[in-house]
Amino acid sequence: MATLFASPEDGPPPGLRRWRDSAGEEGGDALPAALRGPLEAALDAVLAGGGAAEVAAPDGSWAALVEPLEPPVSLVVAGAGRDAVPAAELAARLGWEISVVDPQGKPETAERFPDAEAVLGPPLGGLGARLRLGPRAAAVVMTHRYLDDLALLAELLPLPFGYLALLGPRSRRERLLADLERRGLAAADAARARIRNPAGLDLGGGSPEEIALAIVAEAQAALQGRSGGPLTARAEREAAAAPA
């Protein structure tokens, strides 16, 4: 998105906006000839992976901010227990689009997750076609029921999640993966490489709210290509790598 924030009195009004997406679609306000070339070039640069930048005329007569606008994260909360509620609430505060899957199909589930875009129940077969997933998608399986987790993993593993987590100990994960492989639903090694388990960053604490914070933080880090480590360590590495 390019937003004009300074212009001469006889020029286009501040607030003029022009956008372009990764599919080549564009829209917004029409650009005056003097701005069209530099702003379109700046939009192309952002779409190629560049960050936000200020673009201005050489004589300072106009200036615009060009910035990337990413679609919201799509989070699938597969489970509707007490610990799933704060995970959905925290993700909603981040502006994520939430889908809740309740394998038990309880009628009160929708009331317990008011921020969810969708609340889905059984049958779990064909779940992928019912989910609305954006280009940045995450999922956490947290039903606490073995057979439900098994059915959900079979449905979710083929989907292009940037983050897929499973609540519970590793011994339980290994049982699930062995069952999936034995039934011809997923190769255990490939599934093991994709699934984050135990789910969440090592933040300490064991309350539902603390577990939710650990899971959402890990999802955020994974989708941004970060390790989730302390910023202090990152700053020290960058300082050490900087030229003297």
CB 156 within 8 A of CB 139: yes
Share above pLDDT 90 across residues of the chain, in percent, rounded to a whole number: 68
Sheet of strand 195-196: strand arrangement: 118-120, 97-101, 74-78, 137-141, 163-166, 195-196
Confidence of residue 203 (pLDDT cuts 50, 70, 90): very high
Bridge partners of residue 4, in order along the sequence? 64
**Average pLDDT score over residue span 156-169:** 96
Confidence of residue 160 (pLDDT cuts 50, 70, 90): very high
Convert 108-145 to b/e letters by CB count within 10 Å (16 or more is b).
Answer: ebeebbeebeebbbeebeebeeebebeebbbbbbbbee
pTM, rounded to two decimals: 0.79
**Average pLDDT score over residue span 117-136:** 92
pLDDT value, residue 199: 96
pLDDT value, residue 90: 97
Could you tell me the residue ranges of all domains in the chain? 2-66, 74-223
pLDDT value, residue 244: 67
Other CB atoms within 10 Å distance of the CB of residue 152: 24
**Residue 35 clears pLDDT 90, i.e. is over it:** no
∠ at Cα 134 (129, 136), nearest 5°? 125
∠ at Cα 130 (217, 92), nearest 5°? 30
CB 52 within 8 A of CB 65: yes
**Structure tokens belonging to residue 91:** 């993700």
pLDDT value, residue 155: 95
What CATH number labels 74-223? 3.40.50.720
pLDDT tens digits, residue range 146-157? Answer: 999 999 999 999
**Residue 166 clears pLDDT 80, i.e. is over it:** yes
Bridge partners of residue 75, in order along the sequence? 98, 138
**Average pLDDT score over residue span 56-68:** 89
Sheet of strand 53-56: strand arrangement: 26-28, 17-20, 2-6, 63-66, 53-56
**Average pLDDT score over residue span 216-243:** 87
